[in-house]
Structure 1
Amino acid sequence: MTQQLPVLKEKKVKTNTSRKLLFILLILFVVLLAVLFFRSSMSKISEIHITGNQLIPNQQLVEKSGLHIGDQFFGTSKGTIRERLLENKAVQDVKIELKFPGVISISVQEFSTVAYQMSPTDGKITGLLSNGTTLPLPKDHILVEKPILTNWKAGDALLGKLCKQLGEIPDELLTDISEIMPDPSKSYPDRIKMYTRSQFEVLTTISLMKDKVEYLSNVIETQQPGLITMLTADTYRPFDNTPWGTDLEKDTTQ
């Protein structure tokens, strides 16, 4: 009787060493690619686009953002850029978009321009924003139909309140107002005098202006040029029919 010999199993070739070597080579290859990429122009900021600004110069916004052409694109923080730009008192909101490769687009929303102010010394015109901020106008800026503020002292607290009120009034109700000047009295410390392009003269206060402006618009559309008083009571007197020394004249000096 013959005895069957057991079949010997073939020894498996160990491949752990070769796999480790392949993995190390792969890591080195990836690192090399990363180094080459971050040293190439594709990983750097190549363009910075600024849109939406009307009074703030582009260069001023770029400098404030801290961005430079050639900086690392992937090291750019949108939150940091936004915080820097919002430090400018004229900036209301900022939106930032990163576009690979290397393009950064910044959309700036300024506080709305509500009026202009002319310097009594050199005649230069500055823009006043709805939050009271004053900015010089660019040379190519086109003046729109906004009131001109005259005879206001620098640092007057009422000037900021006036700008805020103007910012809350629809543009269509302000287009006819050409000039606003302070005209305080004992009874109304924040009283102002306004002139319109349709040749009306208006007396009101900063605090009442927002609530009274619709009445002003209605009178201008339906009446001849005259004096409109919008204080505790609203009155209208055409210039031709206003006798000298009437109660209306007394009202304007209180």
Structure 2
Amino acid sequence: MEKGKVVVLEDRVPKLKKRRRQKANRRLIAYLFFFFLAILCVLYFQSPFSAVRHIEVSGNRHLSDERIISLSGVTKRTSFWKVKEQQVEANIARHPEVKEVTVKKRLPHTLVIHVREWRRIAYVYDQQTFFPLLENGRLLKKEGVKTAPTDAPVLVGWKNGDAIAEMTGQLAELPAAVLGAMSEIHYKPTKEYEDRVIVYMNDGYEVSATIRRFADKLAHYPAIVAALDRNVKGVIHLEVGSYFVPYDPPKKEDDDEAPSS
């Protein structure tokens, strides 16, 4: 103790007690704050306020939004904070038509799903049902439809699995515009061409070709048709070379009409 400075103990005791009470009160307030904060967090995570409110789906063409959401396993009751993006991606990717999928969270309560599907390059017609054939060679037997599709050609009369597999590879190489111009592809082998096919085009022409080099030949279809008279339909032969044979010319209207009496 320095000389000339005398501290009276009785004067310090009340101040020390006051400081201790203030310190204890602050500590109690902090404890109470964190206690109620923890309770609020528990109530929040167990309440509907923490659930996924919006699910946005993009990139899908054939699979509906509802189907993809169902595959994801996420519902409006699922907690937004418990959603694991990788698990949701794995759930959706199990569908054979899904090529790629990405899932992201967007605060505060939105789940964003972007899907890329395998391209449907044809439909196999069997037992009055159209089964999608994907560009990876997979046939979706559980996704058959009864109505004739318009987004890809229909394979008719194909029983040879090897021929279908080879044709799948050829169709996958075609531009989308040429693929969309086809209506039906019939498997019509002959002694001369064991892999011959007949293609019925949406514009009224018929194409006779072979599976071998099918993509190379049909890729020139727009240029071939551009050189033809659109009013004259017929068969475009692409087995070896390239030549056009018109259908028999239609009879004149006068010939069809019965003579007046």
The TM-score bracket by the shorter chain reads 0.7 to 0.9
* 1:152–1:80 CA distance, 2 compared to 1 (3 A): same
Q: What is the rounded CA distance, in whole Å, between the counterparts of 2:179 and 2:93 in structure 1?
A: 28
| Alpha-carbon distance, 1:33 to partner | 1.6
Percent identical across equivalent pairs? 23
**TM-score, length-normalised on structure 2?**
0.71
3-state SS of paired residue (1:55): coil
1:163 aligns with 2:165: no
C-alpha displacement at 1:58, in angstroms? 4.2
Rate the CA distance shift 1:148–1:73 in 2: closer, same or farther, 3 A: same
CA contact under 8 A between 1:92 and 1:111: conserved in structure 2?
A: yes
How big is each residue's C-alpha offset from its partner over 1:111-132, in whole Å with a ceiling of 9 and x where there is no partner?
223223333x3x3334333223
Distance 1:71 1:143, change over 3 A: same
TM-score normalized by the length of structure 1: 0.73
Q: Contact 1:177 / 1:195 at 8 angstroms: preserved in 2?
A: yes
1:211 offset after TM fit, Å?
1.7
**Secondary structure at 1:136 match in 2:** coil
The corresponding residue for 1:129 is: 134
> 1: CA distance between counterparts of 2:70 and 2:222?
44
| Residue pair 1:42, 1:101 contacting (<8 A) in 2 also | no
Q: What residue number does 1:56 align with?
A: 63
User: 1:248 corresponds to which residue?
Assistant: none
Q: Which residue of 1 aligns with 2:238?
A: 230
1:135-146 maps to which residues of 2 (within 5 A)?
135-137=143-145, 143-144=149-150, 146=152
Q: 2:96 aligns with which of 71, 89, 99?
A: 89
CA distance in 1, matches of 2:84, 2:192: 54
Is 1:106 the counterpart of 2:113? The answer is yes
Q: Given residue 5 of structure 2, which amino acid in structure 1 is its aligned partner?
A: P
Aligned AA for 2:216? D
Q: Write out per-residue CA displacement over residues 114-155 of structure 1, whole angstroms, 9 at most, x where no aligned residue.
A: 223333x3x33343332233333498xx943532210123x8
Cα distance in 2 for partners of 1:64, 1:176 equals 33
Indicate yes or no: 2:198 matched with 1:199: no
- Aligned residue pairs total 231
User: Equivalences for 1:232-247 in 2 at 5 Å?
Assistant: 233-239=240-246
- Which amino acid is 2:7 matched to? L
Alpha-carbon distance in 2 for matches of 1:42, 1:94 = 27
SS in 2 for 1:74: helix
SS of residue matched to 1:174: helix
The equivalent residue for 1:27 is 34
Q: Deviations over 1:179-230 (max 9, x none)?
A: 212234678665433232332332122x412222233332222135444443
CA distance in 1, matches of 2:117, 2:217: 27
Task: Find the counterpart in structure 2 of residue 244 from structure 1.
Answer: none
- 1:27-61 superposed Cα distances (whole Å, 9 cap, x missing partner): 21220120121122111123444444333344443
1:8 aligned residue: 7
In structure 2, the residue matched to 1:180 is 185
- Return the structure number with greater relative CO, CA threshold 8 A, min gap 6: 1
1:239–1:85 distance in 2 versus 1, CA, 3 Å:
same
Whether the aligned pair in 1 keeps the contact of 2:129 and 2:146 (CA below 8 Å) is: no
Please say which structure displays the higher CA radius of gyration: 2
CA distance in 2, matches of 1:45, 1:240: 62
Task: Judge conservation of contact 1:226–1:236 (CA < 8 Å) in 2.
Answer: no
CA RMSD of aligned residues (A): 3.3
Say whether 1:221 aligns with 2:230: no
